[in-house]
């Protein structure tokens, strides 16, 4: 699927500000599931952009506006071609269940994926989270030895989608997994953090992914911001590698998804963040449009 995406972030300040320093993580990956054919970033007031790859491999652009200004606009455009989701062939995984689970507890796996196994501020493993991860996820059984890693992940994604309510008013950007577990409602960020916490409680490496979800043709028009900007989970499945799961929609991550970046949790990959000197009175407006194009 070929997608054209426009993402605009607009800050408006009550009084002139200065020395605005910003980081952007708005560059799509090129990997086995997607290819970025065109990408541009424009900033107003005009400022030179510098870039580097962070620890997790995300492309970061940084810029500063030192003179006084009352607004700041960041606009990105990109064309990305996506592919279908990775999944086990004919319902069978590349490793037998016992072999896969045994690999995940080996010293080699624990050392290789350490940063995606440790709890974070957003993905703390409280007793409630651990109990959630231990509870039955399929046919009333909790015998992981009889269930492959991919199958277990699919069941966790399904359970979160079915048992929790999508409610933009219930949580905020600071909500952690255990809070969402008590409230039983939240948004994609919360759903992703809970699944990541459950995975880490079971010793499955998992990371937070930010990007876009194209649903415009399913909704009868162009996707708006809430529909397009999205968060999901990538978990490591022995024999398959990193596989994407969307617990908000109980879906495998495939051609309708465009990945911008990944990290341990939301804090690692905030799309736009920065600091400035001046008034605290500021308004933020964000718009994202994702369209399917031919060719």
Q: CATH classification of 2-82+270-292 is 3.90.190.10, yes or no? A: no
Per-residue CA distances from 91 to 147, 150, 244 (Å): 12, 10, 16
Q: What is the pLDDT of residue 226?
A: 46
Measure CA 275 to chain center.
23
- Lowest average pLDDT, out of 40-49, 87-96, 183-192, goes to 87-96
Query: What pLDDT digit, counting tens, does each position of 230-241 carry?
Result: 999 999 999 899
Mean per-residue pLDDT, 105-109? 95
Q: How many CA atoms lie within 13 A of 167 on its CB side?
A: 12
Asked if the model's pLDDT at residue 121 lies above 80, the reply is yes
- Cα(161)–Cα(135) distance, rounded to whole angstroms? 15
Q: What is the pLDDT of residue 223?
A: 38
Q: How confident is the model at residue 20 (pLDDT cuts 50, 70, 90)?
A: very high
Mean per-residue pLDDT, 45-66? 96
- Cα(135)–Cα(138) distance, rounded to whole angstroms? 9
Asked if the model's pLDDT at residue 86 lies above 90, the reply is no
Higher pLDDT, 141 or 73: 73
Q: How confident is the model at residue 117 (pLDDT cuts 50, 70, 90)?
A: very high
Query: What pLDDT digit, counting tens, does each position of 239-266 carry?
Result: 899 999 999 999 999 999 999 999 999 9
- pTM comes to 0.91
Asked if the model's pLDDT at residue 215 lies above 90, the reply is no
Query: Taking Cα atoms as reference points, which of 235, 230, 277 lies closest to residue 258?
Result: 230
Query: What pLDDT digit, counting tens, does each position of 148-174 carry?
Result: 899 899 999 999 999 999 999 989 999
- CATH fold for the domain made of 88-263: C8orf32 fold (3.10.620)
- Cα(182)–Cα(199) distance, rounded to whole angstroms? 18
Domain residue spans of the chain: 2-82+270-292, 88-263
């Amino acid at each position: 699927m070929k997608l054209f995406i426009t993402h605009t972030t607009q800050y408006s300040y009550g009084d002139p500000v200065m020395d605005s320093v910003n980081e952007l993580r708005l560059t799509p990956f090129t990997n086995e599931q997607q290819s970025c054919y065109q990408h541009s970033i424009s900033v107003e007031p005009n400022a030179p952009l510098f870039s580097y790859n962070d620890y997790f491999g995300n492309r970061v652009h940084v810029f500063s506006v030192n003179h006084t200004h009352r607004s700041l606009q960041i606009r990105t455009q990109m064309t990305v071609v996506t592919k279908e989701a990775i999944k086990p062939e004919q319902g069978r995984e590349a490793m037998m269940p016992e072999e896969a689970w045994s690999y995940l507890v080996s010293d080699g796996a624990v050392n290789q994926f350490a940063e995606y196994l440790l709890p974070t501020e957003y993905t703390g493993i409280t007793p409630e989270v651990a109990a959630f991860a231990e509870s039955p996820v399929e046919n009333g059984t909790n015998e992981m030895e009889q269930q492959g890693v991919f199958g277990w992940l699919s069941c966790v994604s399904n359970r979160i989608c079915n048992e929790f309510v999508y409610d933009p008013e219930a949580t905020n950007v600071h909500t952690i997994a255990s809070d969402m577990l008590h409230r039983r409602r939240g948004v994609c960020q919360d759903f992703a953090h809970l699944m990541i916490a459950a995975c880490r409680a079971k010793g499955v490496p998992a990371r937070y992914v930010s990007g876009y979800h194209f649903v415009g043709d399913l909704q009868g028009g162009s996707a708006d911001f809430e529909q397009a900007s999205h968060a999901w989970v990538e978990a490591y499945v022995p024999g398959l590698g990193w596989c994407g799961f969307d617990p908000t929609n109980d879906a495998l991550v495939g051609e309708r998804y465009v990945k911008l970046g990944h990290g341990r949790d939301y804090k690692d990959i905030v799309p736009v963040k920065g600091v400035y000197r001046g008034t605290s009175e500021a308004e933020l407006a964000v718009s994202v449009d994702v369209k399917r194009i031919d060719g």
